[in-house]
A = this chain, B = another copy of it.
Amino acid sequence: MTAGSAERIHAALIARISEGRLQPGAALAETALAEEFGVSRTPVREALQRLARDGLAERGPRRAFALKTPDPAEMAGLFEAVGEIEGAIAALAARRMTEIERAALAGLLEEEREADPAAYSALNLRVHAAIRAGARSPVLARTLEALELQTLPWRAMNFARDAGRQARSRSEHRAIAAAIRAGDPDAARLAMQAHVAGAFLAATRPLSE
């Protein structure tokens, strides 16, 4: 019992989407994928069902799976929801973080100030992870993760980043951290929502900024 083919294929497909190696709307035929991965259709079916559950694939007219095409309007709704949930997380963090956690968050921002562009992305993730941890809500954290996964094809299409965005992102982080440190949930929520909106706009208009 190898026990894990489906999971492996699921991860492989997500990686392909992330790298842009799967075009939006691409057909995901069970037979072809089974042959390609050297397994039978059964684990492929499970992987595709999981992908559909993740919101990354949908069933076509012939019940066949196809990669979801990122609809701009739907993506805007997705980012809005991400902003609301991450805002709620920030508000909870402002209420619940311990002094040590607040200090650790401040420390992360110090690191961030002198980080080169290559290291910035990883630090950005750590900042958000620290806030998630401080919110004490595994349910909201899981929900956020699921929604962010659905933004993956969009991010894969718009990977262009302008240099100015990074500076603004840092400044937004500081505003969030300041509100959290001050224990102001409403300000933390608003700052986080502005941050997510800024990231969305940067991803949406990579050329015009």
Hey, which bits of chain A sit against chain B, CB under 8 A?
Answer: 3, 42, 45-46, 49-50, 53, 63, 74, 77-78, 80-81, 84-85, 87-88, 92, 137-140, 143, 147, 186
Copies of this chain, count: 2
The secondary-structure label for the interface of chain A is: helix
Could you write out 24 A-B pairs with CB less than 8 Å apart? A3-B63, A42-B42, A45-B46, A46-B49, A49-B50, A50-B53, A74-B139, A77-B137, A77-B138, A80-B137, A81-B137, A81-B139, A81-B140, A81-B143, A84-B85, A84-B92, A84-B137, A84-B140, A85-B88, A85-B143, A88-B88, A139-B147, A143-B143, A143-B147
Residue from A50, A53, A81, A92 whose CB has the most chain B CB atoms within 10 Å: A81
Among B74, B88, B186, contact of A84 (Cβ-Cβ < 8 Å):
B88
- Besides A84-B85, A85-B143, 12 more A-B contacts (Cβ < 8 Å) are A42-B42, A46-B46, A77-B138, A77-B139, A78-B139, A81-B139, A81-B143, A84-B137, A84-B140, A87-B88, A139-B147, A143-B147
